[in-house]
Amino acid sequence: MGTSDNRVHAAANRILRTWSLIKMVPDHQLSPLRAPLLDTLCEESHLTEDELVVIGLKYLHRTDKARSGDRAALRRGIE
């Protein structure tokens, strides 16, 4: 594994650990997010680990908002 791979994986670990604290869920429940997160981070592998963490947290926030919007739309459709 190259240096950029190490940086990406270290950032992903930090991101998922932080996200589990924000969302108050155990780390293992976030494992489905790892693959798409790594894909996103690999596109930016030239960045520092700290910059990757920021990118990753923004990515998770954006996707979480999209999922929340989908759930809200479903609830409105049911009512």
Rounded distance between C-alpha atoms, residue 62 and residue 77, angstroms = 23
User: What pLDDT score was predicted for residue 4?
Assistant: 83
For the chain, how many structural domains are there in total?
1
For residue 52, give its domain range.
3-78
For residue range 1-28, list pLDDT tens digits in order.
578 899 999 999 999 999 999 999 998 8
Q: How far apart are alpha carbons 23 and 18 in whole angstroms?
A: 9
**Tokens 């999209």 — which residue?**
66
Mean pLDDT of 27-51: 95
* Whole-prediction pTM: 0.82
Name every residue whose Cβ is closer than 8 Å to that of residue 45 and which is 6 or more positions away in sequence: 4, 5, 7, 8, 52
pLDDT tier at 74 (50, 70, 90 boundaries)? very low
Closest CA to 55 of 70, 38, 67: 38
